[in-house]
């Protein structure tokens, strides 16, 4: 039992019921915020629509002491609204086993396209 996690008339669930009855998680309101700002970690357990969402109202930092592995069974998409920086202090490998690889730098006239096979 986590103190403060039981819902009642004063401490209501973070997602409205019954519309979101398949959702659970943690939501914390920003201190001295306007009530609409929050961090949350949410689970959607509706059959066929299962999802885990982690939302940071501002910054999110992750520190890993050893290795990190991601295994994505289908598509992956990353969108960066500002600058993206990656620093690799050893080897790097990008391997496209099927399909194509396209690198485009807008306004710089650099286009690289390669097909496998």
The domain locations on the chain are 1-59
Q: Of all residues in the chain, what percent carry a pLDDT higher than 70?
A: 91
CB 46, CB 22: distance < 8 Å: yes
pTM reported for the whole predicted model? 0.73
Nearest to 25 by CA among 41, 36, 13: 41
Residue 57 pLDDT class (50, 70, 90 cuts): very high
pLDDT at 1: 54
CB 25, CB 42: distance < 8 Å: yes
List, for residues 78-116, the tens digit of each pLDDT value: 999 999 999 999 998 888 888 888 887 777 666 777 777
* pLDDT(3) > 80: no
List, for residues 62-82, the tens digit of each pLDDT value: 999 999 999 999 999 999 999
What lies within 8 Å, CB to CB, of 54 at 6+ separation is 40, 41, 42, 60
């Amino acid at each position: 039992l986590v103190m403060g996690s039981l819902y009642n008339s004063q401490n209501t669930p973070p997602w409205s019921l019954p519309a979101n009855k398949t959702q659970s998680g943690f939501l914390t309101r920003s201190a001295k915020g306007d009530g609409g700002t929050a961090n949350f970690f949410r689970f959607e357990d509706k059959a066929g629509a299962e999802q885990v969402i982690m939302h940071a109202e501002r910054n999110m930092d992750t520190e890993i002491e050893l290795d990190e592995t991601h295994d994505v069974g289908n598509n992956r998409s990353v969108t960066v609204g500002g600058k993206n920086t990656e620093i690799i202090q050893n080897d790097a490998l990008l391997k496209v086993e099927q399909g194509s690889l396209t690198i485009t730098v807008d306004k710089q006239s650099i286009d690289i396209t390669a097909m496998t096979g």
